[in-house]
Amino acid sequence: MDQYEFIRTPHRVYEKNIGELPRMTGHSRNTIKKAVHSCGLITVRERYHHF
């Protein structure tokens, strides 16, 4: 779970997108998506994509 926090922090705080995080962390895109969506928070960007 510590790795999930390592993934979530740049996404939430520094607004890094899911495409950038695999290069930074070495994890796959699927792992990144799972970690980001497991926290249950909806980011501002995701909220505005739903019309």
Q: What is the pLDDT of residues 35-46, one digit of tens each?
A: 888 876 655 555
| pLDDT value at residue 38 | 80
Answer with the residue of higher pLDDT: 50 or 16. Answer: 16
Total count of domains within the chain: 1
- Give per-residue pLDDT as tens, 6-35: 888 887 777 888 889 899 889 999 998 888
| pLDDT value at residue 27 | 92
Which among 21, 29, 30, 46 is positioned nearest to 8, based on CA atoms? Answer: 21
51 pLDDT higher than 80: no
Cα separation, 13 vs 51, whole angstroms:
25
5 pLDDT higher than 90: no
The parent domain of residue 20 ranges over 2-48
Cα separation, 19 vs 50, whole angstroms:
20
